[in-house]
Copies of this chain bind each other. A is one copy, B any other.
Amino acid sequence: MIHDKTRELVMQSSGEEPKRIVLLLLDGLSGLPHPQTGKTEMETARLPNLDRLASRASGGRMLPIDPGVTPGSGPAHLALFGYHPFQVEFGRGALEAMGSDFDMLPGDLAARANFATLRRPTSLSSIVEDRRAGRPSDAENRRLCAKLSAALRGGVEGCQVHVLPGKEHRFTVVFRGGELSAALNANDPQREDRPLIDILPGTPEAERSAHVVNEFLEQALRILADEPKANGILLRGFSNLPQVMPFRERYGLRAGAIAAYPMYRGVARLVGMEVLGAPKNFDEEIQTLKERFAEFDFFFVHYKPTDSAGHSGDFAEKVKQLEIADAAIPRIEELKPEVLIVTGDHSTPTIHREHSWHPVPTLILSPLSLSAPGARFTERGMMAGDLGTFPATQLMPLSLAHASRLMKFGA
């Protein structure tokens, strides 16, 4: 977490031409050596532009959260935006809503949901026969969610109900209508052959939430009554959006976020960035950056394909996607940001097909960089370097320093 004393050093924007910062985030950037070649994806790829930046920049490696801790995408982004995810209370419901690209607002109440099979006749005290309703297909999930959405279009007890499809039996429900407390228990008995649990308010403030949610469940049971399997709903992880100090207040930066994927737009919005345009791919992202470059002090540009290739376990594909990102670098350089940062949110080694905890190669290019002639932008190439191995929560103070936006501490 950025120290309060450090935050006091942040300069607010002056009238002058701002010193702009571009953070290019290559999702799941780094990896591990291929068993045959001994080379990582970054070491295998031809990355002439990134290597050129690395040799001129302050380089190092960023530790996503804590040694050995593998982050999900949400926490990893919070960390590198300077909000320690261990200190931001993020309910599962809110996290899922954000991951579904739902634009959650303060006061909204989100819950994780399962389609389930209840013993008939269904009621709020039915026995749960199958907590996953026979694991429907994703298409079936979308059909069921659309059915609920259509039937509940008029809302419940004055609240809007948003039903967001997920994978198999999982989906997310968001209730919107004033301040809705999240102090509610789950109705999920956690085991089969047990009855649904009554949802009760945990505090007096949660009485209205409990009423809205129970009314929603009553109506949903009627809507789903004719479904052969998915005739019930389990709810858990009730949560509101966490409140964090907005980026502008915290860092004195007008910040714009450019991301093709919903999840990243959500986390950027959470920290108070303005989400720019609706780019469908990296090419459109760079175009958006160019068009809006005059309007902001800080840009978060998110590149997804490196992570996707890592998850799919396709080494050659990840190499290719790294090379595509590399080829776009000159288009960013043309805009002449004062500070250009290239990093990732975490590693996604293709041999692992999942995120990992390994530190992520990071470069910060500015007029105050301590260059590393000959350095390559790879996992091993960035082990020595001006930035050393630093926690992700320190990326923002370092970026501000390189943009001459942090005052000196003391005389």
List residues of A whose CB falls within 8 A of some B CB.
3, 5-6, 9, 32-33, 38, 40, 58, 61, 65-76, 85-86, 90, 95-96, 98-100, 349, 351-352, 354-359, 367-373, 379-380, 383-390, 394, 397-402, 406-411
The 27 sampled A-B contact pairs (Cβ below 8 Å) are A6-B66, A32-B368, A32-B369, A38-B371, A38-B373, A58-B358, A66-B397, A67-B398, A67-B401, A68-B394, A68-B400, A69-B409, A70-B401, A70-B408, A70-B409, A71-B410, A73-B411, A74-B411, A85-B410, A95-B410, A349-B368, A352-B368, A354-B408, A357-B406, A358-B368, A383-B385, A388-B389
A371 touches B33 (CB 8 A): yes
Closest to A78 in B: B410
Q: This chain: how many copies in the complex?
A: 2
Shortest CB-to-CB span from A244 to chain B, Å, is 15
A75 proximity list for chain B (CB < 8 A): 409-410
Please report the C-alpha to C-alpha distance between residue A63 and residue B101 in the assembled complex, in whole angstroms: 40
| In the bound complex, CA of A95 to CA of B388 (Å) | 31
7 further A-B pairs in the complex, CB-CB below 8 A; given A9-B69, A66-B397, A99-B410: A5-B86, A38-B371, A67-B394, A70-B408, A74-B410, A359-B388, A372-B380
**Chain B: minimal CB distance from A353 (Å):** 12
8 pairs of A and B residues whose beta carbons are closest in the complex:
A99-B411, A68-B397, A72-B410, A68-B401, A388-B389, A75-B410, A67-B394, A68-B398
A202-B323 Cα distance, complex, nearest whole Å: 67
- Asked if B370 and A411 sit within 8 Å, CB to CB, the answer is no
Residues of B within 8 A of A76 (CB): 410
> Whole-angstrom distance between the alpha carbons of A389 and B59 in the complex?
13
**In the complex, what residues of B have CB within 8 A of residue A5's CB?**
86
Write the nearest CB–CB distance from A366 to chain B, whole angstroms: 10
Q: Which residues from chain B contact A33 at a C-beta distance below 8 Å?
A: 370-371
| Cβ B409 vs Cβ A67 within 8 A | no
In the bound complex, residues from chain B placing their C-beta under 8 Å from that of A359 are: 386, 388
Q: Are A383 and B380 in contact (CB under 8 A)?
A: no
Q: Which chain B residue lies CB-closest to A65?
A: B409
Q: Is the CB of A411 within 8 A of B72?
A: yes
Complex interface: chain B residues within 8 A of A86 (CB): 3, 5
Using Cβ atoms and an 8 Å threshold, which residues of chain B touch A383? 384-386, 388
**Residue contact B370 to A380, C-beta cutoff 8 Å:** yes
* A71 and B407 alpha carbons, distance in the complex (Å): 9
A80 to B35, CA, bound (A): 31
- Closest CB-CB distance, A347 to chain B, in whole Å? 9
* Nearest Cβ on chain B to A314's Cβ, whole angstroms: 18
Q: Compute how far the CA of A409 lies from the CA of B402 in the bound complex, rounded to whole angstroms.
A: 30
- Across the two chains, which residue of chain B brings its CB closest to A364? B68
